Copies of this chain bind each other. A is one copy, B any other.
Amino acid sequence: MARSPAGPRRKRRGAYHHGDLRRALVAEAARTIQARGLDSLTLRAVGDRLGVSRSALYRHFADKSALVGAVAEEGFRTLRLRLLEAWEAEGRGRAGFEGMSVAYVRFALTHPSHYRVMFGGSALVAAAPSPALTEEAGGAFQALVDAIVAQQAEGLVRPDDPLDLAHYIWAIVHGIAMLAIDGKLGRHPPGADGLVRFAAERIRSGIALRV
C-alpha cells in the first residue's frame, strides 16, 4: 500500500507508529503497574498493547528500569500537584497543612502500586535514580518545605530548621501511607484517614502529658 494522504490521522506527530511512543510507553506502563502491580509489568505486554515490537522500547529507554523510573517521575509530578491543590484549597495555614497531609496519604492509597514504585519498590530504580527522578521527588518535597516556612512566618510553627521539620513530617505521612498500603494498620476506623487526623493533632501538640 502506498502512503495515502487521506489515511487515518490519529498519530500525534509524523513518526513511524506512534509519533510519541515514549509517552505512550510510560502511560501504558503506569496503567499496568496501577492495575496489576510492578511484578506483572512485562515489556512484551506493553509492546503488544501498543501494537509495537517488544524491542521498540529500547529506542527510547536504556532498559526496563529506565521505563519504570519514568513512571515514578510522573508520579512525583502528580503528587506535587495534589499537595499544592490541597494547600491552596483549604486556605493554607493550619487547615491547609492538614489538608495536605490527608491529600498525601490519599494519593498513596489511590495509587498504591504507583506509589511503591516511586519509593524504591523496585531495586532497579532505587539503585540508581536518574537526575530527573531525583529532581521530581525534590519538587514534591519542596511543596512541604514551603508550607512549613509559610506557617513559621505566621508564627504557627516553631522556628526549627525547615528541612528537619519537613523531613519529620514527610516521614510521618510516608510511614502512614506505607503501613496502610501494606495492610499493617488493621481495622482503623475510616481507613487511614482516621490515623492522619489523629496524627495531625499529635504533630501539632505532641504526645507528652502537660504537667
Contact = CB atoms under 8 A, between A and B. Distances in A.
Copies, count: 2
B209 A206 contact: no
B168 A195 contact: yes
Interface string A156-195: 1111100011011111111110110111110010000001
A55 B200 CA distance: 51
A164 B126 CA distance: 31
B195 A167 contact: yes
A4 interface: no
Contacts of A38: 123
Contact of A137 (B37, B165, B184): B184
Interface in A121-161: 121-124, 126, 129, 137, 141, 155-160
Interface in A111-128: 113, 116, 119-124, 126
Given A137-B184, A182-B126, A208 B158 contact: yes
A167 B182 contact: no
